[in-house]
A = this chain, B = another copy of it.
């Protein structure tokens, strides 16, 4: 991993986890629900989405106050809810996530569904109560609701489950990925751009980076599912193929999938160059592309 990214992670991941732990401890008034929510939030993960938000703020040379931290961390709740629901028997029916039993395997399907539901509401709670400028708060809530909603993540997930077992054209898979995974990653970048008071021009470059990063992320994930072991993945490998999921390697083969990944990375890199040209320190965002190395 890139040195700059490692040091950024070393600085911010502990802060993200501390805030998650502290706030989650008092966020539910029903013990079983609190345990179930905390179980999945604390089950590890790279905290990629909050990190992207913080990186965008830092790249704009703005300070990260506790208000920005709270708003940045909210997206992790949203992401965790989506994982809990994705893993359910009625969806991907996964027993393992990040090397641990999935939420419904530990707490039962009913509690898992409700823990996901609670985390989605809590994401909007944390976002709306972060003491930012009112206009910024409203824009963040609007953007998160769109990214997570029926034109974003949820639409991508419906497209995914309803095309499983049917071969779809690559362009349809791209549109699926853009919503299912891309929308929330792009939101994370744009939330940082918004809190960092990016100009309209800078925002365009942030958006381009977010979209390209999101696509690269999903292609990389598709490739990993085909090539990595259970230990590397922390979940059952090769599930996509067994389940008849549409993936880049399955539709265009592994070499072409790797080319597509490289093209997305290059697109994201160019967005970082454009950010540099517009007065933003794009290097820290560029460092995030090292996730896709090796």
Contacts and interface: CB of A to CB of B under 8 A. Distances in A.
Interface of A: 27-30, 32-34, 36-37, 81, 85, 88, 90-91, 108-111, 113-114, 116-122, 124-125, 128-129, 134-135, 137-138, 141-142, 144-146, 148-152, 154-159, 161-162, 179
Given A88-B113, A138-B138, A145 B128 contact: yes
Interface of A is mostly: helix
20 contacts: A28-B155, A30-B156, A30-B158, A30-B159, A36-B158, A90-B109, A91-B110, A113-B113, A114-B154, A114-B161, A116-B117, A117-B117, A118-B150, A118-B154, A121-B148, A122-B149, A125-B142, A125-B145, A128-B138, A138-B138
A117 B151 contact: no
A150 B29 contact: yes
A127 to B, nearest CB: 8
Contact of A158 (B32, B125, B152, B156): B32
A113 B128 contact: no
Contact of A91 (B113, B119, B146, B158): B113
Contacts of A156: 30
B90 A110 contact: yes
Query: What are the 5 tightest A-B residue pairs by CB atom distance, in nearest-first order?
Result: A121-B149, A125-B145, A90-B109, A28-B150, A118-B150
